Copies of this chain bind each other. A is one copy, B any other.
């Protein structure tokens, strides 16, 4: 019955771009920096992925490209159709809840490391989390959000902050545990 030509994949990137453009028109360069700074904790994309995607999006009428400006800069604005597309994606499709986190994966293999290597791994996790917590707190403490978009971002930021704080607490806990394991077993109970 159906001669399905193209089984569409997830296309998270394009919808993320549309979502960012829904806030305000931006150039590809700006988009790529925003991607890192704003949604970077949940998704990532280099400019080599973003530029071609913007061209595709423009070809489909989901965004509109302006004339090249100062340094060859091209501004992209979302169209009504594009806005409809993100909204439909958000409303009608379920997110893929599989998470990719290499650092966390490695923790499963702690036992393959030397005792020092294991401690080092967890310590690095701790450092990375601590740094990230500081950065997120700084972001969160900025001016209080004024627009709906900023309010959403504040809520999303809070998710990242809490997740990272949990990771930090975990790393401290894990370090203690590793030390206990290295220390002589079965100390006499009080």
> Which residue numbers of A lie inside 8 Å of B, CB to CB?
10, 12, 16, 19, 22, 38-44, 83, 86-87, 90-91, 95-114, 117, 121, 128, 147-149, 151-153, 155-156, 158-160, 162-163, 165-167, 169-170, 173-174, 177-178, 181
Contacts and interface: CB of A to CB of B under 8 A. Distances in A.
Nearest to A40: B98
Nearest to A98: B44
Contacts of A102: 10, 12, 42-43, 95-97
Identify whether the interface residues of A are mostly helix, strand, loop, or mixed: helix
Q: Which 6 A-B pairs have the closest CB atoms?
A: A166-B166, A111-B148, A110-B152, A111-B152, A100-B100, A95-B103
B111 A90 contact: no
